[in-house]
Structure 1
Amino acid sequence: MSLTTAPTTAPDRLSTSLSASILDLLLPHHRTTDRPDTPPGAHAFPHQLRQISAFVRAGAPVVLTLPGFPCKSPNPAKVLGHLPDQGERLSLRFLDSLCRAIGRIYPPGARIVICSDGHVFGDLVHVPDDHIDAYADELRALIAAAGLDRLSVFDLRDVLGDLPHAAKRAHVHERYAPSVEALRAEVRTDEQTLALYRGITRFLVEDTARFAGTRSALQRECRLRAYGVIQRSRAWGDLIADHHGDAVRLSIHPQPVGAAKFGIRLLEAPDAWTTPWHSAALRRADGTWTLMPSAAAAPLGHLVEQDGRPSHFEQRA
């Protein structure tokens, strides 16, 4: 039975209050470029309150979906390799801790479905499909090894099985992607879409380790690819909605207060757009963690290996 048609199992006032308490646990980690004078409360997020309330009224675990964890950047100046490392380990533990915190105030608890989207646009970000498979497989292994049983990974293999990767991408694009013309119009008229377009373009430029042409030619090429990435990202979001229609939608991109998607910051970083798969983790001398390009972290500390692979940097005292 869909949560939208589930019978009410508790008074609406109680479910609304409990839903607000659940959302309060997410608010300190909201990823946004907004800078309100007063931090917004749960009432400023009606979409998420409504979705959480549906789970609470049904007495069901709150399900959240998080598109992301696609693959490592192909630029070796930003990351330590093509497999998950300490940045991902810390992020997974953080997500599991959120689910545990929800479970302490709401016994059915919560679970987060990580919707790994690397294959959706691997060709556009110039990452080989075998690296994307290896990255997603290692994510699952890290979750299992750490006993993070409130987390799971969902990717195109769960939807389209063993079809060739190019065929999977074509299927998703043809069925779900908006047209380039529609996106261009939206970029011209919508500030949030423009910010997303610029952010993705910047990442594509930074992630291109080798380019034969000029800087301006690279920027033009990345602007074109950015539209493709947004198309595929929108398509992936619609596919997720088909498979997890009742879930609370999280986003690794900054989102304005009150948006239908809730932007969530996984780890501290100086830039609201930085993610573990575009950077390396640095443990500061005081024990706190931050994310930055590996080339910037290297002069600050020494490289630490785990399981025979580069993991993170430790800052020198």
Structure 2
Amino acid sequence: MPLTIPSDALPTRIGTEILNLLLPHHRTTGRAPVPAPAEAFHHQLRRITDFVHEGAPVVFTLPGFPCKSPNPAKVLGHLPDQGERLSLTFLNTLCTEIERIYPPGARVIICSDGHVFGDLIHVPDHHIDAYADDLRIQMAQLGLDRLSVFDLRDILGDLPHDTKRARVHDRYAPALDALRTEVRADDQALALYRGITRFLVEDTSDWTGTRSALQRSCRQRAYGVIQRSRAWGDLIAEHHPHAVRLSIHPQPVGGPKFGIRLLDARDAWTTPWHSAALHRADGTWTLMPRAAAARLGHLIQQDGRPSHFVHN
């Protein structure tokens, strides 16, 4: 009797191979002695396999790339620089690697979320527009054709920014009381809340009040950032319901989001928009606050703009 191969065996195998390409870059919340296998990521494996079943490109959504930090001690300016270029190139390369084992390939939709909470992080909306527009320019110039940018302008057009934020918040954001309860009860939610609070404190460079008042303000705003981030995530899921959800934040194994590390950094929470890139003497790159990078290296300009540091 001939061996019967289940109809879903090949898509599952290909889906596992695709997921194996992502695993070395997984940004996780734990420190397991042995990296988790692809089978432990059932949410992602199921969605990737669904695309393979259809013979369609695998679509990933990645909320992030919102805008640069407003703290000049952390970043080189308000526009994308070498940190973003390296990160975008990494994502595009990941898609081309997938294409080698699965010809329909993959694409990543960068869901730029700066306008969603720009008022809470004290970044002007025109800086956020300029950042997202420059991301698109960088992608075109670098030939990163597996990437695209999705932001509130794609949903709500040219409405005033405050109106856009209010509409997204009112429709999608969780209730504040429920979120506070979750943060008190859930370790992952608490870690996210503390991480965002820390970023808000660090990103405030012009505070004239007391340190305790700043911390109170940032703790309050952190809840708002999480509310808006959740709202943005639900909006993305509504518009891209079948996509594989990536995250720039550390995520637990087996969770619905796959945390992905874009570039090397000492802190797992560091992103290109909160830091500057340093080119090490051994040829590798890392991210760190601009002030720290300036102590270690010298500044390189590209196209008339600050780009990155090269180690002395």
TM-score bracket for this pair, using the shorter chain length: over 0.9
Corresponding residue to 1:203 among 196, 199, 203: 199
Partner of 1:244: 240
Partners of 1:272 and 1:236 in 2: how far apart?
Answer: 22
**Cα contact 1:115–1:153 (8 A) shared by 2:** yes
Superposition pairs of residues 85-164 of structure 1, within 5 angstroms:
85-164=81-160
Partners of 1:38 and 1:310 in 2: how far apart?
Answer: 40
The answer to whether 1:225 aligns with 2:221 is yes
Q: Secondary structure at the match of 2:278?
A: strand
Relative to the length of structure 2, the TM-score reads 0.98
Q: Secondary structure at the match of 2:87?
A: helix
Partners of 1:18 and 1:56 in 2: how far apart?
Answer: 7
The answer to whether 1:43 aligns with 2:39 is yes
Partners of 1:210 and 1:189 in 2: how far apart?
Answer: 34
Q: Which amino acid aligns with 1:221?
A: S
Partner of 1:78: 74
Q: Secondary structure at the match of 1:210?
A: coil
Structure 2 unaligned runs (5+)? 1-5
The answer to whether 1:189 aligns with 2:185 is yes
| Structure 1 position 75, deviation (Å) | 0.1
Partner of 2:268: 272
Q: Secondary structure at the match of 2:252?
A: coil
Partners of 1:138 and 1:179 in 2: how far apart?
Answer: 34
How many residue pairs align between the two structures? 307
Q: Secondary structure at the match of 1:148?
A: coil
Q: Which amino acid aligns with 2:132?
A: A
The answer to whether 1:20 aligns with 2:16 is yes
Partner of 2:49: 53
CA RMSD of aligned residues (A): 0.7
Partner of 1:235: 231
Q: Secondary structure at the match of 2:228?
A: helix
Superposition pairs of residues 275-294 of structure 1, within 5 angstroms:
275-294=271-290
| Structure 1 position 11, deviation (Å) | 2.0
Q: Which amino acid aligns with 2:252?
A: P
**Cα contact 1:86–1:312 (8 A) shared by 2:** yes
Q: Which amino acid aligns with 1:226?
A: A
Q: Which amino acid aligns with 2:288?
A: M
Q: Secondary structure at the match of 1:175?
A: helix
Partners of 1:256 and 1:80 in 2: how far apart?
Answer: 32
Partner of 1:4: none
Partner of 1:65: 61
Q: Secondary structure at the match of 1:31?
A: coil
Q: Runs of 4+ in structure 1 displaced over 3 angstroms? A: none
Partner of 1:311: 307
Partners of 1:212 and 1:111 in 2: how far apart?
Answer: 45
**Cα contact 1:120–1:236 (8 A) shared by 2:** yes
Q: Secondary structure at the match of 2:107?
A: strand
Q: Which amino acid aligns with 1:274?
A: T
Partner of 2:293: 297
| Structure 1 position 212, deviation (Å) | 1.3
The answer to whether 1:213 aligns with 2:209 is yes
1:111-166: per-residue Cα shift (whole Å, max 9, x none)? Answer: 00000000000000000000000000000000011111100000000000000000
| Structure 1 position 37, deviation (Å) | 1.3
Partner of 2:3: none
**Cα contact 1:33–1:272 (8 A) shared by 2:** no
Q: Secondary structure at the match of 1:47?
A: helix
1:172-223: per-residue Cα shift (whole Å, max 9, x none)? Answer: 0000000110110000111000000000000000000011111111011000
Q: Which amino acid aligns with 1:290?
A: T
Partners of 2:162 and 2:303 in 1: how far apart?
Answer: 32
